Chain A
Amino acid sequence: MVNRETTDLGEADATRSLRTPAIVLTRGVETEALSNVGEADDPQTVFSVRGLDVHYGPTIAVAGIDLDIPARQITALIGPSGCGKSTFLRCFNRTNDLIPGAKVSGSVLYHGLDLYGPQIDPVEVRRRIGMVFQKPNPFPKSIYDNVAFGPRVNGQRKGLDEVVEHALTRAALWDEVKDKLKKSGLALSGGQQQRLCIARALAVNPDVVLMDEPCSALDPIATSRIEDLMVELKRDYTIVIVTHNMQQAARVSDRTAFFTAEVRDSGDRVGVLVEYDHTETIFTAPSDPRTEGYITGRFG
């Protein structure tokens, strides 16, 4: 395995890249190697983003983002529609690669490894960095097969029952579905479907869980269950969440990044990062007037 002794905060290993997909970091290794950096207010950096631009064909969607995501915390990305926060989130697991014409430049370091380095296999990246989408998207398969999908794709054949039970338990869904694992995932309510999608993401044992407005299609009760779940999960996982809902960011996140769309001279609307700080600071003493304007509801 990769020797992680020398890895410290962020940029140290900018040049290191994966030799083979098999040596993408495992959670155990990195936890051990990084445990000596232990100040509560200065947690380990999982992602270190520098000078990130995203283009869709000829138009630029997001420009010049610099940002560090700490481990085992919840980082919220907020901002008005069209500010590029979802586009930015998708850079962390290379789902932008799936959109024809999308191009990411700048660097995204994941534990010091450049995710866009030439030897990185995007499929392997997505195994480590899970994602939950805005609209619950369970597969049209049974609840069991939904959760077992990721482990099966990763070649696991034995012990699936335990993996499924564990993942569903972590996603606070086990008690509701344990007697109907053979039923279709689509027979569940919207909130249950979203928790099934979270369970599905957890079943491959990711390091990071990205959530793209996971509650926007849910009612308040289901939303509050998912929020409780996020807080519960951050003990073991790094979570990055995009949300439209400022109260949600304030309730669950440790850090908040505020994005907005700037209109360039060319007429393009470009997403930029305005301010990134502890959530409390963003909501009580923002340093940028645009942040203050947004959180007090004056625009956006």
Chain B
Amino acid sequence: MIGALFCCAALSVAVTVGIVLSLIPPTLEFFTEVDIFAFLTGTDWAPLFVPAKFGVLPIVMGTIVVTICAISVAVPFGLGTAIYLSEYARPRVRKLLKPLIELLAGIPTVIYGYFALKFISPFVQNLWPFGDSPGVFNALSAGLVMGIMILPMVASLSEDALSAVPHGLREGAYALGSSKFEVSTRVSVPAALSGIVAAFVLSVSRAVGETMIVLIAAGGTPNMSLNPGEAMQTMTAFIAAAGTGDLPQGSTGYKTIFAVGSLLFVATFMMNVFSNRIVRKYREVYE
């Protein structure tokens, strides 16, 4: 029995390790054909054209821009939602609202993609405050909708962290003449910070890894730009687009997919390590 349960636990670990290992050989082969330094610093990305160019920075930039758009929606609204639910909402409101918010997380991403393209993008085009209005495909629409998609995760995880803060701490702060807002911002949020930062990091990982929304709404052109009003391609969108095309197995273009996949993996892995350090340094341990 214990053995069966152990296999359950081992399965996901084994799959993860397997995926990572399978990335390595094609990636190494790729770097025998393309200089790693040129790959990481080049600003031209056209791996499937002739002549092929393998500068990865444009799709890295696209990923960063879309992620920033997503985070700037998900984190403030998610944290605000969490603070409202755990500190202000009456128990009945919370019981009703929390599952409703979590329902947002159950919507398929393809629907979010078309929501971005058909609903948000016209708004972005009409309300664009600087100069020429952006095209239908733009990074901002994709990023904003991605933010809405990961908002429930930020809200739910942060709310869990806030609810875990012992009630005695809040009472202590109230007894010193704190208002509800002061109790939330000076006691509850700092005490729950490690959980909130974990939610933040997870949401960045989700944004970096999200594919369908950007594939549909961000446009497919690699673009070395910081302007979210332009069409962009992200690393994940490139992998999806190239992977569904008819690339001959073993070609350099085929191996590019694995190289970009490895880069994505290394980036998210380093981010997790880094955030763990930050959490350990700043969190307030309350037990």
Contact = CB atoms under 8 A, between A and B. Distances in A.
Are chains A and B native binding partners rather than an unrelated pairing? Answer: yes
Contacts of B171: 95, 98, 131, 133, 137
Interface in B182-197: 182, 186-187, 190-191
Interface in A139-155: 139-141, 149-150, 153-154
A186 B175 CA distance: 19
B172 A137 contact: yes
B168 A139 contact: no
Interface of B: 90-91, 166, 168-179, 182, 186-187, 190-191, 284-286
Contact of A130 (B166, B168, B176): B176
A204 interface: yes
Interface of A: 93, 95, 98, 100, 123-124, 126-128, 130-131, 133, 135, 137-141, 149-150, 153-154, 184, 186, 197, 200-201, 204
A186 B286 contact: yes
30 contacts: A95-B174, A100-B90, A100-B91, A123-B178, A123-B179, A124-B177, A126-B174, A126-B178, A127-B177, A130-B176, A133-B168, A133-B171, A135-B168, A137-B166, A137-B171, A138-B172, A139-B172, A140-B284, A140-B285, A140-B286, A149-B173, A149-B176, A149-B186, A153-B178, A153-B182, A153-B186, A197-B172, A201-B176, A204-B176, A204-B177
B117 to A, nearest CB: 44
Given A133-B168, A137-B169, 5 more contacts: A126-B176, A126-B178, A131-B171, A140-B191, A200-B172
B173 to A, nearest CB: 7
Contacts of A127: 176-177
A130 B170 CA distance: 14
A139 B187 contact: yes
A200 B173 CA distance: 10
A141 B284 contact: yes
B175 A201 contact: yes
Contacts of A123: 177-179
Contacts of B179: 123, 153
A28 B90 CA distance: 40
Contacts of A93: 175
Contact of A153 (B91, B169, B176): B176
What is the predominant secondary structure among interface residues of chain B facing chain A? helix
A135 B169 CA distance: 10
A131 B190 contact: no
A124 B176 CA distance: 9
Nearest to A122: B174
Contact of B177 (A100, A150, A184): A150
Which of B171, B173, B175, B182 has the most chain A CB within a 10 Å cutoff? B175
Nearest to A129: B175
Nearest to B91: A100
6 closest Cβ pairs, A-B complex: A127-B177, A140-B284, A150-B176, A131-B175, A137-B168, A140-B286
Which of A126, A128, A135, A138 has the most chain B CB within a 10 Å cutoff? A126
A56 B84 CA distance: 24
Contacts of A201: 175-176
Nearest to A142: B284
A4 to B, nearest CB: 21
A135 B172 CA distance: 10
Which of A93, A127, A137 has the most chain B CB within a 10 Å cutoff? A137
A154 B191 contact: no
Contact of B175 (A126, A135, A138, A154): A126
B175 A139 contact: no
Contacts of B187: 139
Which of B169, B177, B187, B285 has the most chain A CB within a 10 Å cutoff? B177
A133 B286 contact: no
A204 B171 CA distance: 16
Nearest to B179: A123
A294 to B, nearest CB: 28
A130 B178 contact: no
B174 A139 contact: no
A45 to B, nearest CB: 23
A204 B91 CA distance: 32
Contacts of A133: 168, 171-172, 175
A201 B177 CA distance: 10
Contacts of B168: 133, 135, 137
A285 B284 CA distance: 51
A150 B173 CA distance: 8
A130 B171 CA distance: 11
B166 to A, nearest CB: 7
Contacts of A128: 177
Nearest to B92: A100
A126 B170 CA distance: 13
A153 B191 contact: no
Contacts of A130: 175-176
Given A95-B171, A133-B171, A186-B285, A141 B190 contact: yes
Nearest to B182: A153
Nearest to B287: A186
Nearest to B191: A140
